[in-house]
Amino acid sequence: MENTKKTTRSSPVSTVLAAFIGDTSWEQIPGRIRHEVKRSVLNYFAVALAGCNDPTLDRAVRTYARFSAGSAATLVGRPERMDMLNAAALNAMSANVYDYDETHIPTIIHPISPLAPALFALSQSRPLSGKDFMLAFLLGVEAQCRIGVAISPFHYDRGWHITSTCGVFGSAMAVGKVLKLSHTQLRWALGSAACQAGGLVESLGTMSKSVSVGNAARNGMLAALLAQDGFDGPARPLEGVNGFLQVFGDAPDFDAVIRNLGEEWEIAKVAYKPYPCGVVLNPVLDACLALSARIEPRRLDAIESIELTGHPLLRQRTDRPNIKTGRESQVSAQHAVPVALLRGRAGLDAFSDAAVSDPKLRALGSLLRFQDDPAYSIDSAKVVLRFRDQTTEQEHVQMARGSLQRPLTDDELEAKLRDLCRYGRSGCDAGPLIEAVWTMEDAEDMGRLAALAAAPG
């Protein structure tokens, strides 16, 4: 029986989006948006360098290397080289493995992880200027985030990993722009990308999540390359009766894909994380670090209960007691709260396997209780500590550090890159990389920039 929720529409969403991708020029991009592209690339290298030597990457590199078709592209923070498809996949995994990447606030998509690796891999197989890279990058963000808005919040709530399912469109459109695909070819690329979209929220906290993020980068690039070679696709891959939006969404907002194209830029709605965890935990960590700084350490031993108030999504995404791995801890309030309170820090070391095994943290985490309040935004939270002597301490964060209202500064993003470069133990020199990112607009060969992030040979 036909699904009565599916409806057709006359607006040619796929055609309009493809035309916008194909026709937009560098001269049309405002200066503040150009600068935001550089900030996004800086954050990409920071998080990819942090994750480059994680066991997830070690295992993936060993497996993918068995099937690599060449050595044209470098891997961030590593000495190995791969063909551009496998390099794109592995670098996407590296950037997303610690959940320290950026967040498109309206959708919770992490748009850069599937996108930047595809463009950098391509830049090492053909000449690509800084301006052309930045334009393609921006349009890739635009495509995937607008598609994500059209199916949110149902899509993620239904269990689809939206970074993976929508990221493939960003990679396809960015690569398609560099390849100068026609409007028709770009539409074909959307079709092939849609056929390869996948990823499940169930995989969060495991290595499996990295597979679909890597596929988003790899498969989007493949979709564009196939279209370049005449590989066709459906006329309405997004809005068709059985197109992506109708299959993956519930009453999708078709117009969200094309509304105010070229006037409102989705990259302006991207925030950069100050902590390596799910974005909904940012205000919680702000609050706990503030409490930790003003409460005597011995008094923390007398906590009787912890009340955590926030948007219902906070509980839905982070109510994870009895976790066993550092990866799981990145989306666990029962770990984030005690580690910030007791250790007064919330960097990558705080979300490690060793931290998770600390019995003192486990004991304190068991005292946590959630209070849902739909009036809270995802960037706000309140933490109330109740002590055995019946006194309380509380901290209410109205807007988290790293949110759109309190964004990380350029200097803070640079510091993040330097810190994560050291953490990842790649031996990469952060200084020249940072300088190259800030000056990429004038670069003649973005492949050279990509090579700066590789481990010394």
Q: What is the pLDDT of residue 317?
A: 87
Mean pLDDT, residues 234-243 taken together: 97
Q: Is the pLDDT of residue 4 over 90?
A: no
Q: Are residues 328 and 203 in the same domain?
A: no
Q: Domain of 210: which CATH number?
A: 1.10.4100.10
Mean pLDDT, residues 132-137 taken together: 98
Do the domain assignments include residue 6? no
Give tens-digit pLDDT for 264-315. 999 999 999 999 988 899 999 999 999 999 999 999 999 999 999 999 989 9
CB 152 within 8 A of CB 162: yes
pLDDT band of residue 8 (cuts 50, 70, 90) is: very low
pLDDT band of residue 49 (cuts 50, 70, 90) is: very high
Do the domain assignments include residue 360? yes
Do the domain assignments include residue 207? yes
Q: What is the pLDDT of residue 7?
A: 42
Number of domains in the chain: 2
Do the domain assignments include residue 187? yes
Q: Domain of 387: which CATH number?
A: 3.30.1330.120
Cα distances (angstroms) measured from residue 424 to each of 54, 257, 457: 8, 37, 16
Give tens-digit pLDDT for 314-325. 999 899 999 999
% pLDDT > 70, the chain = 98
Summary mean pLDDT of the chain: 95
Do the domain assignments include residue 8? no
Q: What is the pLDDT of residue 248?
A: 97
By residue range, what is the domain housing residue 229? 13-272+409-452
Q: What is the pLDDT of residue 334?
A: 98
Could you tell me if residue 168 is left (phi over 0), alpha (psi between -120 and 50 degrees) or otherwise beta?
A: alpha
In degrees to the nearest 10, what's the CA dihedral of 323, 418, 281, 290? 110
Q: Are residues 288 and 153 in the same domain?
A: no
β-pairing, 303-310 with 368-372?
parallel
Q: Are residues 264 and 283 in the same domain?
A: no
- What's the sign of the alpha-carbon dihedral 108, 56, 281, 409? negative
Q: Are residues 216 and 352 in the same domain?
A: no
Q: Are residues 51 and 157 in the same domain?
A: yes
Q: Is the pLDDT of residue 18 over 70?
A: yes
Q: Are residues 168 and 82 in the same domain?
A: yes
Do the domain assignments include residue 322? yes
Q: Are residues 130 and 190 in the same domain?
A: yes
Q: Are residues 210 and 329 in the same domain?
A: no
Do the domain assignments include residue 165? yes
Do the domain assignments include residue 38? yes
Q: Are residues 222 and 296 in the same domain?
A: no
pLDDT band of residue 10 (cuts 50, 70, 90) is: low
Cis amide bond preceding 79, omega within 30: no
